[in-house]
Structure 1
Amino acid sequence: MHHLIIGYGYCGYHLAQYLLNRQQTVTAISRHLDESMNLPGLRHIIHDINKPFLWQEKNTVLYYLIPPASEGEQDKILETFLSLSSIQPAKIIYFGSSGVYGNHQGNWVNEQSSCNLDHPRQHRRLNAEQQWLTFCKQHQIPCVLLRVAGIYGPNRLPVQAAIAQKPLLAPHEAPYTNHIYVHDLSEIAYQFAEKIELSGIYNIADGKPDLLGTLQQQVAQALGLEAAPYEPWEQIWALASPMKREFMLASKRLSIDALRATLKETLRLTSLSEAVINSLKEEGNFS
């Protein structure tokens, strides 16, 4: 089996690393390659997916990790890729976003829950899912859509925020948020790849939702730093980035019952506290 990664960024790198460590054949596609991300055994192809792409090896699992562009309500990047390219893989695995659910006032959501779309980014993500479903149905290709929670891991931790004691929302005002450790995400993707005929939509998270700010608190605790103070909603909102405001307005708890039922005993999920320590060790920030 050949593993083809379209979009070789943070998650693509860790996925490729996981696959190569299991003696898999891996090719990654991106517009450029940072030398620090060049892994032994990896075949990398520099390619702009806005141009035609030909892949003739059928015994391939294709992982698509490119997020939509930042404008509009459709994923035009994916639309162009599918219209110009010639691909016929054995399976598609799309790395999507649990953001498609929008705000559920802190309630549990599963794959059948409504998508309360109130931001163009959510529309783009849902449109990408629909494009893949249509393409795979037309070409009779098994397709797994991953609705992925917030990804963290080595070099993707709020270390500077913890050091600066960046104020957090008070617990009674904080929305629920969901996380997945990047190494667990890579393993889950590979397990879905091995189930070659399986199709479906799956929430991908650790199954233990936390209040917004918990990750920063875990990092501070692991580094022995003083805890950040709490501030009221209005003060946090005033200084929040557009992305953080989306998180603040999208409280939900992701159910991973479908994921557990499908992967059963092979599903291994790392606790937030353990994953934070492991990530800091990989960064060289923890001894």
Structure 2
Amino acid sequence: MHHLIIGYGYCGFYLAQELLKKQQKVTALSRHLNEEMALPGLNHIKTDLNQPFNWTEPDTVVYYLIPPPADGTQDVFLRQFLGQSVLKARKVLYFGSSGVYGNHHGAWVTEESPCFIHNSRQQRRLDAEQQWLSFCTHHNIEVVLMRIAGIYGPNRLPIDAAKTKTAIMALDRAPYTNHIFVKDLAQIAAFFGQSKVPHALYNIADGDPRTMGSLQQLVAKNLGIEEASYESWEQIWDKASPMKREFIESSKRLDNKRLLATIGSTYKLTTLDDGVSQSLQDYLVS
């Protein structure tokens, strides 16, 4: 079996490590390869995926990690890639976003829950899911769509916000946010890639939703920094970026029972407290 990582960046780096640790054959694609991203045993191909790409090894698991472009309602990059490339595979795993569900006003959300569309980012992500479903159905390829929560890990924590004590929304109106530790995500994806799984759609989250700002406060606590003060919903909204406003308007709690039933006792998901502590170890040493 060959594992092909399309879009070798932060998450792909941890996925490649996990697969190589299991003595798997791994190839990764990206435009560039930073020295710190090189791994022993990894076959990296520098390529521009705006150009046709041919992959003809049928016993391949494809992991697609490239997010849609920043504009429009469709993933036009993926449409072009699939339309002009040859991609032989036995399975495709799409790294999608739980943001497609939209605002459920803090309710628990399963894979069967509706998607309430209120921005073009959701439309692009849903379009990408449909493209992979259509492509894999047409070519008789197994597909797994992963709707992934907010990814955190080493070098991906709100350390600057914690240090500057960026104000946080008052808890009584703060939306729920969901998280997954990057190393857990890598283990889950590697498991899905190597195993026959019963579903084509999974919520990927640690199952412990927190209110917005909890991650920042947890980072501050671990660094021994005084926690930030709280402000009203209106105060936070007025100075929020367009992307942050999307998060504020997307309160939900991701149900991960399907995920847990599939991975069983194979992996124990990392709690947010433990994941933050692990992620800060290198930072604290330096």
What's the TM-score once normalised by structure 1's chain length?
0.97
- 1:1-287 map, 5 Å: 1-196=1-196, 198-281=198-281, 283-285=282-284
Asked whether the 8 Å contact 2:95–2:145 carries over to 1, the reply is yes
Structure 1 position 218, deviation (Å): 0.8
Equivalent residue of 1:147, what SS? strand
Q: TM-score, normalised by structure 2?
A: 0.97
Percent of pairs with identical residues: 57
The one-letter amino acid paired with 2:120 is: P
5+ residue gaps, structure 2, are: none
SS of the counterpart of 2:206? coil
Structure 1 residue 69 displacement after superposition? 0.2
Amino acid at match of 2:45: I
Distance 2:241 2:16 in 1: 31
User: Deviation string for 1:5-62 (max 9, x for gaps)?
Assistant: 0001111111112211222111100111112211111111111111111111111110
CA contact (8 A) 1:175 1:212 kept: yes
Preserved CA contact (<8 Å) 2:5 2:62: yes
Is the contact made by 2:163 and 2:220 (CA closer than 8 Å) also made in structure 1?
yes
Q: Distance in 2 between matches of 1:196 and 1:68?
A: 27
Moved more, 88-97 or 192-201: 192-201
Residues 143 and 199 in structure 1, CA contact (< 8 A), matched pair in contact too? no
- Residues 179, 10 of structure 1: alpha-carbon distance in 2 compared, 3 angstrom cutoff: same
Aligned partners of 1:98 and 1:203 also within 8 Å: yes
Which piece of structure 1 moves more, 244-253 or 233-242?
233-242
How far did 1:195 drift?
A: 1.5
How far has the Cα of 1:88 moved from its partner? Answer: 1.3
Q: Is the 8 A contact 1:143 1:198 kept in 2?
A: no
Alpha-carbon distance in 2 for matches of 1:99, 1:85: 28
Following superposition, which runs of at least 4 residues in structure 1 exceed 2 angstroms of deviation? 196-199
CA–CA separation in structure 1 for the residues paired with 2:114 and 2:4:
32
Amino acid at match of 2:161: A
Aligned partners of 1:21, 1:165: CA distance in 2, in Å? Answer: 39
Instruction: Evaluate the alpha carbon distance shift between residue 169 and residue 8 of structure 1 in structure 2; reply closer, same or farther with a 3 A threshold.
Output: same
Which residues of structure 1 form unaligned runs of 5+? none
CA contact (8 A) 2:106 2:176 kept: yes
Query: In the TM superposition, what whole-angstrom CA distance separates every residue of 1:194-229 from its partner, at most 9, and x where no partner exists?
Result: 124655100000001000011101101111110100
Task: Give the secondary-structure state (helix, strand or coil) at the position aligned to 2:276.
Answer: helix
- Whole-Å separation in 2 of the counterparts to 1:228 and 1:284: 20
Kept in 2: contact 1:90–1:196 (CA 8 A): no
Which region of structure 1 is more displaced relative to structure 2, 92-101 or 195-204? 195-204
Superposed CA deviations along residues 89-113 of structure 1, whole A, max 9, x for unmatched, are 1110000000000000000010110
Aligned residues: 286
Query: Deviations for 1:157-213, whole angstroms, at most 9, x for unmatched residues?
Result: 001111111100010010000000000000000111112465510000000100001
Contact 2:197-2:262 at 8 Å conserved across structures:
no
Conservation of the 8 A alpha-carbon contact between 2:198 and 2:262: no
Question: Are residues 78 and 264 of structure 1, via their aligned partners in 2, closer, same or farther at CA, if it must alter by over 3 Å?
Answer: same
Tell me if the contact between 1:102 and 1:250 (Cα under 8 Å) persists in the aligned partners: yes
Provide the secondary structure at the position in 2 that maps to 1:215. helix
Q: CA deviation at 1:233?
A: 1.2
The 2-side partners of 1:204 and 1:160 are apart by 26
Residue identity matched to 1:268: K
- Tell me whether 73-82 or 10-19 shows the greater mean CA deviation: 10-19
